Amino acid sequence: MPTIFVLNGPNLNLLGTREPEIYGHQTLDDIAGMLEDQARPLGLTIDMRQSNHEGHLIDWLHEANAVGAKAVLLNAGGYTHTSIAIHDAIKSIAVPVIEVHLSDPHKREEFRHLSYIGMAAVACFAGHGAASYTLALDAAAKL
């Protein structure tokens, strides 16, 4: 079955306890379960990963390309606004990348308005809480 990589950046391991008024009460494991349940009837598998290290995210983007993943859902966390290296990695691979955010960065602090990830991604789903991931998965299934 085609695989969707779901890559999560710094501090997303703290979902459920980190600023729940912004990011919600669901954990990353909760989101993984939702995505796996959603992926099965779509004939997809999910490969969900999280790292607080930029290089891991870049290596995983390269890996997604090397193994022929159908798509990557990427919530780069704070690297969204700072990482030209992740931007370049996305531009370097053939696998489509969809940007995902729990909150809407454009409704938050001004420094969050710039997205290097969005400059390279094929789509973005933001501001829908955990549903941002499920909306992104629906879009990825149609690619």
Which CA distances in Å does 14 have to 35, 52, 66, 111? 18, 11, 29, 22
Annotated catalytic residue 81: no
Q: Check 23, 79, 116, 133 and give the catalytic one.
A: 23
Which CA distances in Å does 52 have to 76, 113, 131, 138? 9, 21, 22, 26
Query: 77-87: buried (b, 16+ CB within 10 Å) or exposed (e) per residue?
Result: bebbbebeebb
Q: Check 53, 79, 87, 101 and give the catalytic one.
A: 101
Annotated catalytic residue 23: yes
Annotate 78-105 with DSSP letters as a single string: GGGGT-HHHHHHHHH-SS-EEEEESS-G
Q: Which residues are catalytic?
A: 23, 101
